Structure 1
């Protein structure tokens, strides 16, 4: 038996069979219906390309063809017994395939079929070879274009095959030279669609795969491309030219389309995944409600108004004005004809939904009203208040017909039982009370909660009460007896609310502990924890069929979860402030949300697909740094991870996981072999960049770190703190080497001398101190004037520049301890300082939004750089000292020429606050990071001209973005989509 031949033949058979099943949409294949075609050679020479991955180097490469054999056989087979033909009776295939009948075969798992189908498509794409060996790029592209329609990638859309897409993405990232041409050929397919309408499927598949592999597609000239049905969810298409493109039915869910050009593009049935938001309130939108038929949306606000919107068009139908303070709750009457609202102005108001007029104003409470509930038959209303009273009202007349007193303090919520025979209230007094409606007498006091009871619901069959509290528990009570049946424990913070599933078998709770939990009512057992929000959860609700949960949070996101598995299905981002309320439409296909950003938004629920396979941080990126050799970038994030990136491609090289809190600091060792990180979990960690392994955990401190670094020889780690100390660890053993205590104030900066034996530290106590590491002794202490707020050392650690509360900038000689210069800063104060590489100049960042350049020897101010519209947070010199790069609260990085004092360029793109930037060692690149969760690399083209964004990693957290995009004569947008484009910053 030739085992190698059998393995090779089996592999080819599986490739063919896997693709055949994909093409026919079957999971069982019949031999007689299946034809084997063997693409057996891969060209392992790199294709000629016009532009490299970063679009900065022009290449015209002559091509040498060298085929690589993949399998032994080169024949095309069409036979009645493929199995016999391939294997001659050998049964090695049993490990991948199984017979399901005569001449019928099935893969043991669908993932096997998907893998082989993907491999077949990949090998088919990279196996094409041109007719000639000696081609330039244009000639190569012409020959390739003529063949694309024959490629397997052009046979069928991959949109419903996310695993096949994933496997192809893996090959794009594969470092095996065999797959080196895959990405460029996918780009060539997209490019070829400009002139060939027979390859629309191939082009749509190609761009979908590239996007799913997190390949940047920004600033490309893709005018006239034809990619109908492509999935470009989360795509980074900043500045891309899509003039005259066929984008029909393309999905741009949460895509980044800033500065993209859609002029004359065909965008029929384009999908954005969200709708134009509803805007009109002048203050925080506190809550929302849907009419029973979901045709109308009601929103209420701290501005004292209630607004009614048409759910289909988004038009405002009514504005209910009358309340003089915040509206707390609104309720529809059972027949939907009226709306009832309550407010902190102590009134309840009844509104007519048809005319928009106020019908009744109910007065009776002496303090703000916290809750209202309408009886099932619509005849009666019950209200609760901070005055500790419960009032029952006749809706028709508006008269108060009963009053219940007993809670000594504010009541938080009140509910009718279904038959209206009882009323349940909950209070700040930590109790629930059950009242007999007919007698208006106290019936039961339910005690057990140890904190404010925030809400309570009664099951529709009037058998049980479910309550939640600031004590972090949910409790289930028997309504008739008042007996406590279950205590549901798990939340570690205030429970903000609860909601029943439609079949009343489960209850969900949402909390300030950032989680949603699902509980079984009959047993009291916890079924699921939905964990993913970064801040407090303000609302959550089951979908109508109970299969999903939607939640919203102070983290500005809306999230959709699978109720049975607890898996997060979708994150909806776009609100710019906390999200206060969320609700499913009755169909379960849309979601309604409201926010402190004063808007109401409607979102589409995704169709069960998740195409994006992004690398990147999931929370704010706190720092980025180049490796000393300039080849890599390290980043750290609130998502508790540290990541390593390849500068040339933007590819993630390592993911360092282990910290249990946000990671705030990270640094490379001088030899670029290690990374040091610090987290709010109070640990330092040292990682090996090649293996990704954790080398050491450094412990020994319980306070925030202001800075850290390796010693030049890599043997020590230094960290300085606001707690007045500098600490040193041995990097090899992880042991704490020494604590330098001498500063009576917080330490702002510390640096090693080049010999790794001397340390200089600067403190808010007005001193700069020098320490000898071997003896652990203080050598020198320099005294300033006024409390020092920050300091930076020159590159040779011979000088230090400080800035103080007295608004002066002072220069010191470290060895002598003498003050060299005192520079008078602006009256607004200084935010940061930095030496030039040669130590002869100092740049200061000022609170008056300016940057100032100073001469060290003379103390003269050389230039004032003006242009930023917010406080300048950081400034760095280029390595050659000819330029200054500044970072500001206006979310821009600006480049300034030192000799002229003029601004060279302003870099814009991040959607959130810039948290950090760094210049590459050769000065040709800038890396920046933001709380929008992205990292950007900026570079010049061929080393000259203006800087452009070369790549971005991560998906920015503000959702769909279209700032300054152009949509002139774009054909196919609905009126609502046009409004959405305008709201997102697009132009027509």
Structure 2
């Protein structure tokens, strides 16, 4: 089995904190997700997570106007300079201060950064040949409190800053004749935003208390001339003559407006210069759109139950993006049509369980918030959420070729959801209320079993009728895990009573075999061939048992492998804090040669079963904002009152609603955004994809997906000295298709294989498939399954699949265990192609009907012409 899995995507979380940024074309949006950045393609409906990680949670990001440079800054002021098109980190930098905002100038030559009470302007790397990537242009002072917001003028010559000191300041990038540093004061609360109008004749400032000030660069007299009548004009002239200093030209308040949202304060705001639109998000979850300078309310809508933390507008002004940190929500709203472009939300609390569909195209996740979500692995989006459960979901399983998903919950119900009609069509309950902690579905999807926490029983229901078929008794502790054998004849259960048991659910004798362990059993799993059982225990061991002989065949001591990480409150080192480190979840690979395990640790381990050797160990997160990611603690942070990491040092909580703590005393979970608790880096569940190309982990950060990347690695197969790319292409030109195909697989270069594969005429596919040696069959089927998803030649691939299965069907049937992952890869590819064709036909059904009717008309007219010619003859 290949072990070079690389981080691929982060699906379970869409927004954590910080600001949202649209790309210059307006088709994608960048969202900070913990210490990573996710990119959501709003046109192609896909998401991806950039491969780099920061040391702590990202607090602000900025993208250059040319979309070439991305700068991300974390909570400590450390920054990364990233080449955005290539997704490569170019440089590390430390601003040595908490950064509240960072903005590129419209021409892209400079970027401004808040630095406490100061503003630093730096030159953008790449415009000039310089020794250092970051070159400081100038530092600007004048504020008396932390700066909150920055904005540039359209000509990149001036910029505005707002601060908690209730003022806004105007700065010039370079010394300008006749310009002096100006202060705009008058607000009664912290100023959250300030912007120039497009013609730079007006400035708009928004404060936290809901006030909007419209400033104009003029004299008092000119402002009065516009607002007063003729008589008042004469009086103002007399006043002007008496007071000469009032005739000075300066920025003055022309109008004051108020949003009048009772009991709600402004939390975020954004301004679009081209269309003069102001978007404001409030603490009540309401947002509004106003047209300036008339202050006309265009739209007001409640989109969330919590405060809106950030607002962004794309380049055309059509799409608005909103982020809500408490709910983990990301919304993109098209205000003209009043419709959602994107509406995504992760689990409110921890993700507890994961399950892959049979084709590996969908992933179901359950969380402590009682929600069941289904994610598409290709797009990375959640396309359906079920919230029927009233308590945390403890286990999920797919059945019926991925069309049905089952979930077990602590609310005492097991529910079956239809993924075709998106409804809960069955609810299974026990005679007396219990909490279900484990779930298993037989391969046919006709029987579902669930294990309880309090009665120590296993309940068996019929999916068709919904009736309780049997109650399996015998365990003396909570049933922690259940798994059906691939043949569907045996059910294995693991319990805290230090035993794992196999049950003959369908047999009349009800034979029970007991496998005794030295500690509590936390997870069990069947090998894909159904002949072996793996069980993980509380002491960090993984035991392997032969099903037929009921004997232990192997033992893996995994505590040292999974141990690691130290909490901020630990009194012992990471090496000595191995207690409690164990595997809470197990899963075999698709070929059954390896096993993957994860638990209360930052590590996920993959073992080779034949040799009992650790193949690879993955660290799920490098985020120092989480507990358990550091091996050594900094003694400087330890005080007589405890660690500084657990102390509240955020000055933003100045409002009463932010300072209220409604959590129960002593709880480590709940509303983590209010209580100062650091979430712990751990893995609740790990699952391998049935295709063998990826695995997923439900972690504190979200749903992490790791997949294979074979494009860079040169991995030849039976390579000889005379096999070169030129010789392969020469053989193809000589029309020796079978030999050219075999040579390309021996060279194992993807572009050469693709060129040879597509160079074989469809009429010769049958002969090539019949004469293909069996040792190349696996590689060809694997290539067809992967290439089919990205190639437009649908019929060509279907011909290949059909001919290969017809020619080698008997061999594939005899070795179906070896080719199981290949079959699932083909199934996934065929399913995705079918969905693409179905959506394409649905979108163009009227055009297709028109073409068909036109063809029928032309054929009828040609038949009539033939008949007339025959009659005339």
For Structure 1 versus Structure 2, the TM-score category normalised by the shorter chain is 0.3 to 0.5
Tell me the TM-score normalised to structure 2 length.
Answer: 0.43
| Structure that is richer in helix per residue | 2
TM-score (norm. length: structure 1): 0.38
